[in-house]
Structure 1
Amino acid sequence: MSFIWPWALAALALLPLLAWLYVRGLARPAQAAALHPDLRLLAQARGRPRSLRRHLPAGLYLGALALALVALARPTAPVPLPDDRTAIMLTVDVSRSMEAEDIKPSRFFAAQEAARNFVRSLPQGARVGLASFAGYAVLHTPPTARHEQVLVAIDGLGLARRTAIGDGLLESLRALPERGAQAQSAQNQATQNLPAAAIVLLSDGRNNSGSDPLEAAAEAKRLGVKVYTVGLGTENGDPGMGGWGGFWGGFDAETLKQIASTTGGRYFEARSAGELNSIYRDLGRSLGWTLKPREVSGFVAALAGLMLLGSLAVSELFTRRIL
């Protein structure tokens, strides 16, 4: 947290003085005495010695005053705000191995549901697109703020043979704003002024067709695009899929890790539909937002007001109990 008017914080030095005056007032001797005919009845009325709770109203009041002085200094803090400049591409493996049922009801249906949850978790206005790859890559929709269009595209995904992870990554790169064919041909293209972009790539297998995934990752790095990779499937794959051998086995974790590491993204593993949904939901809540400094004086002042009301309420409660 920082402050626009930090000099106003000097007023906080008055708080120790106020606390000292409060304690001094408690210790002040009585200025008058009164006679009472029944000391026993007076002792019963007095009750037990007061605990530290009697100081709670004063403590809340000092806390409210401190927060009010902090609000006067106009504090600023990083606040998560919807980011409508960042473009995100969902890139989904639709090879035939996604029919495997080691993740219920199948890898493919689990991936579709997780992709839907990802889109729904994005803030309104965030741009998201969809690409898929099997033996070749297909762009279904470029990044758009019309999330319903992406959801319809997810529902229309179908399966095909082979796995071309590199082609899927390159197709997603070409779909990102200002990173298309023209940007890729400029070897010295500066990425500092390009809008932020990210790719979320899911695969359940190993690259066996098309471009080299690591070369595609190097291109993504050059264009300033972070790639978040997700490996889908159980450790032993689905041996019950009938004679396809390793085709239904596990994903290529090392390649997916290298893609994420090269581009500055992160690598995830999903061994169940629940894990996959959790990964996509968390990514949607982080990629669609950006932290920007905003003045939070109003929030701090509201806390000060609530604390002051609490001080008054507690003081009134104690006063009624004494009466």
Structure 2
Amino acid sequence: MTFLSPERLWLLILLPMMVALYVALQMRRRQYAVRFTNLALLSQVAPKRPGWRRHVAAGLFLAMMLIMLIGFARPATGVKVPRDRATVMVAVDVSLSMMAKDVAPNRFEAAKDAAKKFIRDLPGRFNVGVVSFAGNANLVAAPSADRQAAIASIDQLVLAKRTAIGEAVFTSLQAVRSFDAQASQDPPPAHIVLLSDGDNTTGRSVTEAIDAGRTAHIPVSTIAFGTPYGTVDIEGETTSVSVNKETLRTLAEGSGGKAYEAADGGQLSEVYSSIGSSLGFKIEHRDIAARFTGIALLLALAAGGASLAWFSRLP
């Protein structure tokens, strides 16, 4: 629980003062009784009553004041609220190294299958966009709730030379900033999921991409897709394409995201699912002062009822 007007809590210092005043009055009452030496007459003037009853109404009144003062400071509780504008950008590496068959049937097909499953499983309130990147980066599906358009764009991806990881991040950030009319001033909560097997060989650097992601407050989570043993045949030559986990981890940790390793499509689906669920809600603080007002009212009624029942007067 938190308070929307915490500065009002200083009024709580009034309670110890009230308690001290009450105790002082009780001690004064006792001293008066001792000075009244005609005990027989005292018993007629002030017949004995159970001593604890005197304090019940006062205790209830003080409890009521405590609850009212807390309510005056506007207590609030955190509530999960769906993020209707939440956007996930899926950036897919389409460089030639994705032809490697160390992940069946190959890295490229396994990545596409996992990405499509992820998009299908996203809750309807999520928006999803798709970016492909090789020698440059292209927005192939603008972020929207249209799942079929995003899936169709993945089916149409084709491989190309080189790898521009930095450009993929910048293109994804631009897609988020262009999401709707208010995005430039109030960008939607977003997360970039970048799937690649490793090296940034062209375009803007990974360091520039990290700075851009941090400035926009949009984390980039990376998935190192592949194994150290991947090879591809390019123009009749077999080339080793070991996954570069270090570059992807640097990008993820530097931008505030997380770095994952997905050696197969099944692991990739689990990673996508966990990232997607993290954007599902935001915490908003809701004023619950009315609850405290209601409790204070019940305590006031109890204090008044006890005083009337035992002493025929209000406290």
TM-score (norm 2): 0.61
- Shift in Å at residue 177 of structure 1? 2.8
Specify the alignment match of 1:127 in structure 2.
Answer: 127
Secondary structure of the corresponding residue to residue 101 of structure 1: coil
Whether the 8 Å contact between 1:233 and 1:251 is mirrored in structure 2 is: yes
Whether the 8 Å contact between 1:117 and 1:281 is mirrored in structure 2 is: no
Whether the 8 Å contact between 2:97 and 2:232 is mirrored in structure 1 is: no
Instruction: Tell me how far apart the structure 1 counterparts of residues 128 and 262 of structure 2 sit (CA, whole Å).
Output: 22
Instruction: Tell me how far apart the structure 1 counterparts of residues 85 and 170 of structure 2 sit (CA, whole Å).
Output: 21
Specify the alignment match of 2:89 in structure 1.
Answer: 89
Instruction: Tell me how far apart the structure 1 counterparts of residues 157 and 178 of structure 2 sit (CA, whole Å).
Output: 26
Give ranges in structure 1 of 5+ residues lacking alignment: 3-75, 184-188, 296-323
Whether the 8 Å contact between 1:121 and 1:285 is mirrored in structure 2 is: no
Specify the alignment match of 2:259 in structure 1.
Answer: 267
The answer to whether residue 198 in structure 2 is matched with residue 205 in structure 1 is yes
Specify the alignment match of 1:218 in structure 2.
Answer: 211
Secondary structure of the corresponding residue to residue 237 of structure 2: coil
The one-letter amino acid of 1:164's match is: A
Whether the 8 Å contact between 2:233 and 2:239 is mirrored in structure 1 is: no
The one-letter amino acid of 2:132's match is: S
The one-letter amino acid of 2:262's match is: A
TM-score (norm 1): 0.59
Specify the alignment match of 1:109 in structure 2.
Answer: 109
Instruction: Tell me how far apart the structure 1 counterparts of residues 232 and 132 of structure 2 sit (CA, whole Å).
Output: 25
Question: Looking at CA atoms only, which structure, 1 or 2, has the larger radius of gyration?
Answer: 2
Specify the alignment match of 1:137 in structure 2.
Answer: 137
Instruction: Tell me how far apart the structure 2 counterparts of residues 80 and 93 of structure 1 sit (CA, whole Å).
Output: 34
Structure 1 pair 153–82 and aligned structure 2 pair: CA distance change class (3 A): farther
Specify the alignment match of 2:277 in structure 1.
Answer: 285
Deviation string, structure 1 residues 149-202 (Cα, Å, up to 9, x no partner): 11111111111111111111111111113589xx9xxxxx9x8x5331211001
Specify the alignment match of 1:308 in structure 2.
Answer: none
The one-letter amino acid of 1:236's match is: Y
Specify the alignment match of 1:312 in structure 2.
Answer: none
Structure 1 pair 244–166 and aligned structure 2 pair: CA distance change class (3 A): farther
The answer to whether residue 227 in structure 2 is matched with residue 227 in structure 1 is no
Secondary structure of the corresponding residue to residue 161 of structure 1: coil
Query: RMSD across aligned C-alpha pairs, in angstroms?
Result: 3.1
Structure 1 runs, 4 residues or longer, greater than 4 Å off = 76-81, 239-242, 291-295
Instruction: Tell me how far apart the structure 1 counterparts of residues 90 and 280 of structure 2 sit (CA, whole Å).
Output: 13
- Shift in Å at residue 139 of structure 1? 0.7
Secondary structure of the corresponding residue to residue 124 of structure 1: coil
Work out which of the residue numbers 240, 243, 263 in structure 1 matches 2:237. Answer: 243
Instruction: Tell me how far apart the structure 2 counterparts of residues 294 and 104 of structure 1 sit (CA, whole Å).
Output: 50
Secondary structure of the corresponding residue to residue 148 of structure 2: helix
Instruction: Tell me how far apart the structure 1 counterparts of residues 281 and 114 of structure 2 sit (CA, whole Å).
Output: 19
Secondary structure of the corresponding residue to residue 171 of structure 1: helix
The one-letter amino acid of 2:269's match is: N
- Shift in Å at residue 291 of structure 1? 4.5
- Shift in Å at residue 243 of structure 1? 3.0
- Shift in Å at residue 286 of structure 1? 2.4
Instruction: Tell me how far apart the structure 2 counterparts of residues 79 and 105 of structure 1 sit (CA, whole Å).
Output: 44
Secondary structure of the corresponding residue to residue 199 of structure 1: strand
Instruction: Tell me how far apart the structure 1 counterparts of residues 191 and 232 of structure 2 sit (CA, whole Å).
Output: 34
Instruction: Tell me how far apart the structure 2 counterparts of residues 174 and 81 of structure 1 sit (CA, whole Å).
Output: 26
Structure 1 pair 230–142 and aligned structure 2 pair: CA distance change class (3 A): same
Whether the 8 Å contact between 1:127 and 1:143 is mirrored in structure 2 is: yes
